[in-house]
Amino acid sequence: MQIAAINFRNGFRKAFFFLLAGGTGFSLYLCISNGMHYVFHVTEVASAVVATLLSALPTFWMQRRLTFKSDQPKRKSFPLYVLLQVGNAALIGVLTAVGVRIGLPGAVVFFIAGIAGAMVSYAVQAKLIFPRP
């Protein structure tokens, strides 16, 4: 029974820190994308892509250290994380373009696309970037 309790607590801890780190990155993404679009009048797609890439560095550090407690060398995990974020930027850009095309407001599209990116991000990080030994 002790092992099940440890796994449950570790799963809860990982979920908590993923939400904390991911929530911080998501908040940065939302602030940057909405600011670029509504304050500086940059298109929705460009705003979403730039915001995704700018929020990647602080989120990488938090995911690596807090969520996954990874001891993978940064020189190995960071390039993979950057590739993931480039892929996420493409995914979010496409979803944003589709949302704009069907007439959704930018703020709604940024939110929906960001959630989709976060789900993909967690799966890829857990399996490929910061795998458990």
Can you give the residue ranges of every domain in the chain?
2-129
Q: pLDDT tens, position by position, for the chain (133 residues)?
A: 344 444 566 778 888 888 899 889 989 999 999 999 999 999 999 999 999 899 988 999 999 999 888 988 999 999 999 999 999 999 999 999 999 999 999 999 999 998 998 899 989 998 999 988 7
Closest-CA residue to 26 (of 3, 55, 67): 55
Helix (DSSP H) and strand (DSSP E) numbers for the chain? 5, 0
Quote the CA–CA distance of 96 and 49 in Å, as a whole number. 9
Q: Which residues contact 51 (CB under 8 A, 6 or more apart)?
A: 28, 29, 30, 31, 32, 33, 36, 110
Q: Please, what's the b/e burial string for 90-117 (b: 16 or more CB within 10 A of its CB; e: otherwise)?
A: ebbbebbbebbeeebebeebbbbbbeeb
Quote the CA–CA distance of 72 and 16 in Å, as a whole number. 21
| 17-30 per-position pLDDT tens digit | 888 998 899 899 99
Can you tell me which residue has the tokens 């407690």? 69
Question: What is the rounded average pLDDT for all residues in the chain?
Answer: 88
